[in-house]
């Protein structure tokens, strides 16, 4: 039987086109805004009807709709409500931004989330919840909003051109609105598997009820399983486990899963039976997640290979060959002089990357300006490279190049690659694909053209890491300015410099 709503025109502007979702809260249709030239929108009809337009419920609906609209403007992690109204049957509806994405419930069902991806998603969800719990100013009053139905199917994951993988929370305020309807006050509203004990008891709820539901969802995101499993699917069985049963241990739910202890503790604390034993607000959870992200990523940022393997020996460049040869690239058909110092770059001791065209195609390169005397000291050297990577608060790689010989020591050439930019992604991709990069030297005294060229080879393990980092950075969301990630990487850089230098000094070499 065809859906009678297809083709309906709401408020003389929203034409319903296709049913795209159903649930306990209502039905969702894709529609077009005919007043804006057919712009796609999503229309959600709520599962209640206002029989008397002068009832307090209508006022309540308008307040909730205003609040949800303001929430979407305040936080990018909450779906934006653009309009609301009543249809000819007095059924309230919301008009929301139309987003093409995937439900978090589908993602969990089809694949295991990596810890970095989980942390990114959890942080985004918490930012949306924090915005709602802090409250919205409507008509001179602050209205804190408790979601009351936190679960994976109410989280939409979309691929955004600017932000990468973006998570948005759906259906704020709707559960409370439904509970205000005199026709349904005797019924439980929510989702049994994710409801807090106090929610199932019908008590007045605060933000800590959402935190319990968040704990259930985080456990499921990490393990693919529920932390509590009743004997039957009845209300009474679910109430019993939420009120009295201890959650399954992570080791039992996912024996192979390796999690930071702080993350396990966070999820367990969110699942505490008593609200007073849980984190008291989302800010506490965000702080813990931030600490976990920092420690987790800085610990895993180094490629899991011995750094000695990443020291590339100059196999065809003994000192006798390099003294009179200004081109030490091993590619004799390439003439460094064809590369000119960019006019928009200062004449100063700086380093920057740039893709260049060679006989073999496009290649990555690192352009270096130094005094002529300093360049001459480094023409006979061992080349070492290492890459550090951090995902939060902004995806960033630190590209470390070291030129070393015994007589003159080490020359450090670090560069920060922003992996949310086109240039950063292109350079990292090229290095991962080609397994090497060219070092183009420009003398400060003669800055017009390249004076010397060296080649630095990248270990296969690091090439693989670079490609993985580019792919993951495309879907990651930046939560702060890139400078914050640079600061964190610089700390790690200073920690490993003595270790790198010790390995270089320990090599049996005269260069």
List pLDDT tens digits, range 38-64: 888 999 887 665 444 445 555 666 666
DSSP H stretches of helix in 224-340: 235-244, 250-253, 261-270, 282-300, 319-322
Residue 284: pLDDT above 90?
yes
Q: 63-83 burial string, b = 16+ CB within 10 Å, else e?
A: bbbbbbbbbbebbbbbbbbbb
> Rounded mean pLDDT of the chain?
81
Strands 92-97 and 102-103: unpaired
Active site residues: 149
pLDDT at 314 over 80: no
Q: What percent of the chain has pLDDT over 70?
A: 81
pLDDT at 297 (0 to 100): 53
Report the pLDDT value the prediction gives residue 141, as an integer from 0 to 100. 80
Tokens of 315: 């196999």
Tokens of 159: 């691929």
Cβ(66)–Cβ(138) under 8 Å?
A: yes
pLDDT at residue 61 in the model: 64
Tell me the average pLDDT across 416-445: 94
pLDDT score, position 188:
56
Which residues sit in the known binding site?
44
* Res 160: pLDDT: 66
- Residues in CB range of 290: below 8 A, 6 or more apart: 123, 392, 393
Peptide bond into 19 cis (omega under 30): no
Residue reference for tokens 């106090």: 198
Rounded CA-CA distance 62/68 in Å is 10
Binding-site sequence positions for ATP: 44
Instruction: Identify the band that residue 282 occupies on the pLDDT scale cut at 50, 70 and 90.
Output: very high
pLDDT reported for residue 87: 83
Confidence category of residue 367, pLDDT binned at 50, 70, 90 = very high
- Reported as a pLDDT band with limits 50, 70 and 90, residue 430 is very high
Span 74-91, mean pLDDT? 82
* Separation between Cα atoms, residue 201 and residue 195, nearest integer Å: 10
Half-sphere CA count of 458, side-chain side, radius 13 A: 28
**Model pTM greater than 0.75?**
no
CB 29 within 8 A of CB 42: yes
Q: Which two tokens stand for residue 403?
A: 């030129």
How distant, in Å, are the alpha carbons of 31, 174, 360, 379 from that of 450? 59, 65, 19, 14
To 5 degrees, how large is the angle CA 144–CA 146–CA 147? 140
Task: Say which CATH class 9-299 falls into.
Answer: mainly alpha
pLDDT in tens, 287-310: 999 888 777 654 444 333 322 222
Residue in the block written with tokens 């409500």: 81
**Domain layout of the chain by residue ranges:** 9-299, 303-330+345-505
- Write down the pLDDT at residue 447: 84
- Give the span between the Cα atoms of 395 and 164, in whole angstroms: 11
Give the length of the chain.
511
In this prediction, residue 184 has a pLDDT band, given cuts at 50, 70 and 90, of: very low
The rounded distance, in Å, linking the Cα atoms of 41 and 30 is: 6
Q: 403: burial class by Cβ within 10 Å (0-12, 13-18, 19+)?
A: buried
Distance CA 23, CA 183 (A): 18
């Amino acid at each position: 039987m065809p859906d009678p709503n297809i083709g309906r025109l709401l408020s003389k502007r929203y034409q319903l086109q296709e049913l795209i979702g159903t649930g306990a809260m209502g039905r969702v249709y894709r529609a077009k805004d005919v007043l804006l030239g057919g712009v796609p929108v999503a229309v959600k009809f709520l599962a209640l009807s206002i029989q008397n337009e002068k009832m307090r419920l209508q006022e309540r609906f308008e307040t909730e709709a205003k609040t949800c609209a303001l929430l979407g403007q305040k936080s990018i992690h909450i779906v934006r409500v653009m309009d609301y109204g009543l249809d000819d049957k007095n059924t309230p509806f919301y008009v929301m931004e139309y987003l093409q994405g995937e439900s978090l419930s589908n993602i969990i069902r089809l694949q295991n989330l990596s810890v970095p991806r989980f942390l990114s998603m959890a942080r985004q969800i918490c930012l949306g919840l924090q915005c709602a719990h802090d409250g919205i100013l409507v008509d001179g009053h602050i209205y804190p909003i408790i979601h009351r139905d936190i679960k994976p199917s109410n989280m939409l994951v979309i691929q955004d051109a600017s932000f990468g993988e973006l998570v948005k929370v759906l259906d704020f305020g709707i559960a409370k609105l439904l509970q205000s309807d005199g026709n349904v006050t005797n019924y439980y509203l929510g989702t049994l598997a994710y409801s807090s004990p106090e929610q199932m008891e019908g008590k007045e709820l605060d933000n800590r009820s959402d935190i319990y539901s968040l704990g259930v969802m985080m456990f499921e995101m990490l393990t693919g399983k529920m932390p509590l499993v009743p004997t039957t699917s009845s209300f009474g069985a679910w109430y019993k486990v939420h009120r009295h049963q201890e959650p399954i241990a992570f080791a039992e739910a996912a024996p192979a899963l390796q999690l930071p202890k702080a993350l396990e503790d966070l999820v367990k604390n969110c699942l505490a039976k008593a609200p007073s034993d849980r984190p008291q607000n989302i800010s506490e959870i965000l702080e813990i997640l931030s600490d976990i992200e920092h420690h987790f990523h800085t610990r895993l940022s180094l490629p899991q290979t011995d750094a000695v393997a990443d020291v590339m020996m100059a196999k065809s460049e003994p000192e006798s060959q390099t003294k009179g040869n200004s081109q030490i690239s091993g590619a004799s058909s390439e003439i460094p002089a064809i590369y000119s110092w960019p006019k928009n770059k200062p004449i100063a001791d700086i380093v920057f990357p740039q893709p260049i065209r060679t006989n073999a195609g496009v290649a990555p390169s690192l352009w270096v300006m130094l005094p002529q005397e300093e360049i001459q000291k480094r023409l006979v050297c061992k080349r070492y490279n290492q890459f550090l990577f951090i995902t939060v608060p902004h995806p960033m790689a630190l590209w470390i190049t070291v030129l070393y010989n015994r007589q003159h020591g080490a020359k450090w050439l670090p560069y920060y690659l922003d992996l949310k930019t086109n240039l950063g992604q292109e350079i990292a991709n090229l290095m991962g694909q080609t397994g090497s990069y060219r070092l183009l030297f420009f003398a400060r005294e003669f800055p017009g053209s390249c004076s010397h060229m060296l080649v630095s080879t990248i270990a296969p393990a690091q090439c693989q890491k670079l490609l993985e980092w580019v792919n993951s950075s495309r879907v990651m969301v930046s939560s702060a300015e890139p400078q914050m990630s640079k600061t964190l990487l610089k700390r790690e850089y200073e920690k490993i410099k003595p270790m790198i230098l010790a390995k270089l000094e320990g090599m049996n070499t005269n260069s």
